[in-house]
Structure formats: C-alpha cells, structure tokens
Amino acid sequence: MTDFRIRQRVTTIVGFLVLAGLIGGVVMVSGVVPIKASSGHWPVTKWVLNFSKARSVALHSSGIEVPPLDDPTLVMKGAGHFETGCVQCHGSPGRPASPVARMMTATPPALAPKVRVRDPEELFYIVKHGIKFTGMPGWPALNRDDEVWAIVAFLQQLPDMEEEAYGELVVPRGDLNGAVEVEGVLPSIVEACVRCHGTDGLGRGTGAFPKLAGQSREYLEESLRAYAAGERHSGMMQTVAAILSADDCVLLAEHYATLPAPDEGGSSGISNSPGVSPARIERGRRIAEEGLPDQDVPSCVDCHGPGEGLRADEYPQLSGQYADYLELQLRLFKSGARGGSDTVDLMSPVVSGLTDVDMRDVAAYYASLPWGREAEPMRK
C-alpha cells in the first residue's frame, strides 16, 4: 500500500510538471506575454530577479581579496572611465542618466544608494562580470583586475561626492572640454583623450595615466590599433579605441607625438612617488644599463634608451615616464595580462626574471630622468 501511494504521488508530480511545461510551451509559442521594456517587470518577477541577483553576487564574491582602495590616483583613474563609459546609464553627481537608459528594463539604478549597501568585493564582482538579463556588461578586459579595482575605488567615494569634486576629477581645472582640437577627429573622441591625458598630453601629473606628449608616432599609432583590436588589454582604453577609424589613429598619434615636452624641472615622473631613495634609483640605473645576468635579464637601454639612436620608433620612450605607470606595465607583462602590438613578445624573456623590487627600482630610475626621446643617461 505504501509503495502504491508513493507511485501515485510521483505520477501526480510528473503529470503536473508535464502539464506546466505544455502550458509554458503554448504561452511561449503564442507570443501572448509581452517582452516590451516599456512595461517593466511584474512585481513578483522583479522580486525574484532581485533576490536571486543578491544571493548570487553574495556567494560568488565571497573570498575576493580587497586591495587598498584609498589611493587618490586610483580614484582618479576610475573616475575617468566612469565619465566615458558609465554616466550614460547611471548618471553622475549633478547629471541624470540618459532618458534612453531610464526606459530600459531593468532600469540602471542611481549608484550612490546602491554603493552604500555593497561590499567592495561585491562591487568588484559586478563591475568585472556584469549581470545577465540587464544592460550591465562585463569588463572588456577580464584579465585587468587593476582597472576594475580603480572603478571600485571611485564608486566608494561616489555617495559623498559633490558635483564640483566630480568635475575636478574628470576634467581638472584648466583642462576644459573642447580646449583641444584635432582636425579630422570627432571632438567627443578628443575630449575622452583629454579627460585622462590632459590638454598637454602629460597625464595630469600622476601615475594614473601615462605621458603621451613627444612619444613616437609609430608607437602611439600601433598602441591605438592594438587597443582597438583587443590585443593590448585594457577595458578603459578599448572603450575609446574601438570606435576609432584608421585615420583617427594616425591623426591622434601625430597630435600627441608633436606636443612639446615640458620645461626642465617639471618633466620627471618621480614626483608622484615621494621619498624614493637615491639608492633605489642607482640600483635601477644599473639594472637598466647592465641587466641582471644571474637572472637572465638583459639591459633595458638598448631598446628604450636613454640616449640617441638606441631604439626603434615602435618602442616606447621610458625616460621621465611616471614610476607608478612603468611599474604597473612591468607587472602586467610578467603576469601575461598586458598584451600589446606585434613586438610585445620581446618583453616576455625580459620581465620573467625580474622581482617586484627589481621592477620598482627600474621604474624609479626611468621616472627620475627628464622626459624626452633624447634624454641623457644618468651619470654615476
């Protein structure tokens, strides 16, 4: 009798599931359920989706290690991309979201109240991976966690940020939108460049963004093409570079290559790393000039200078570049997360033998030099 009742219940459950499936199939085939975004979700659907989302984010973000996020340079870097890629949907201090975004389902939320109730690791997970069934995309370069953390660092400051403070982060005083024109390139594209690299092309004085002024045209053009193709990995740069035409790449590269270098005394990239000891710089010089034979590390100067006639135009100049930026690039090369143009594979054997201290010291040496392709070597 017990077995009969069990079989009866199983049959009932299976029959119910089959019937529900048939009804669902009929509803789906008939097209009776509207999929129009303008109607929004039913309340029960919205609750189920939001509850499921919250539980999924909480589970999958657990165990993520949060780095220090109070670095102003990191916040500036995140703000620059937020203005380029996020404000259209989420708005910013003093600026509402686009009317188009407000008609989406799900509607992109204002972020300030959301950030207050999210842990940094949850924000990281959402920014990096996006959310299915919404307009929230994943990060274009999934191997660039450093960029995702920059966005998180900015988001944590957003709830208490006034419109003026936001504007200063995005477009610093004196670097007004439209202050730079590049003939043949859309003003909106040039504004995106100025937002991070400044009107003078010197990266706004911190290691958040590299100096471009006076860099070789060949290197800049190849870099833009590599970003656009996703071969040089950066969710921030690919967002801009992907919409560039071939002519845009040429014109922008020529523009920045012909910008003048700053006067002596304001050209060093070491200013964003106070307290760098002369011993570190001297050790970095020896590595750059002699390499580390015991670690199978060749010298840097044969390709990157300083000095005249030592390197190809496709190689970037390093003298006077920001220490933070140079160290980050070396770390990305070593981890395999950087990518690049056709010559990127030349760096793999160079960085494989470098320790964290080696990279820090080499970056400090190059940052201590004047900015320019003909920078002179540091004398002992």
Q: What is the pLDDT of residue 274?
A: 59
Q: What is the pLDDT of residues 94-122, one digit of tens each?
A: 899 999 999 999 999 999 999 999 999 99
Q: What is the pLDDT of residue 205?
A: 87
Domains and CATH numbers, the chain: 44-170 (1.10.760.10), 187-257 (1.10.760.10), 270-368 (1.10.760.10)
Question: Cα dist. 132→50, 312, 338 in Å?
Answer: 12, 45, 27
Query: Which phi and psi (to 5°) does residue 118 adopt?
Result: -110, 140
Give dist(CA 27, CA 9) in Å, integer: 27
Decide if 249 contacts 226 (C-beta within 8 A): no
- The four Cα atoms 345, 350, 354, 357 give a dihedral, to 10 degrees, of -100
pLDDT over 70 at 376, yes or no = no
Q: What is the pLDDT of residue 282?
A: 96
Decide if 180 contacts 112 (C-beta within 8 A): no
State mean pLDDT over 206-218: 92
pLDDT over 70 at 174, yes or no = no
* Angle, helix 120-129 to helix 43-61, in steps of 10 degrees: 110
State mean pLDDT over 369-379: 65
| Closest by CA position to 221, among listed 247, 193, 186, 196 | 247
Element (H, E) at 345: none
Give dist(CA 111, CA 152) in Å, integer: 12
Determine the 3-state secondary structure of 96 from DSSP: coil
Decide if 266 contacts 200 (C-beta within 8 A): no
Read off the pTM: 0.88
* Nearby residues of 46 by Cβ (< 8 Å), 6 or more positions away: 40, 106
Q: What is the pLDDT of residues 225-258, one digit of tens each?
A: 999 999 999 999 999 999 999 999 999 999 999 9
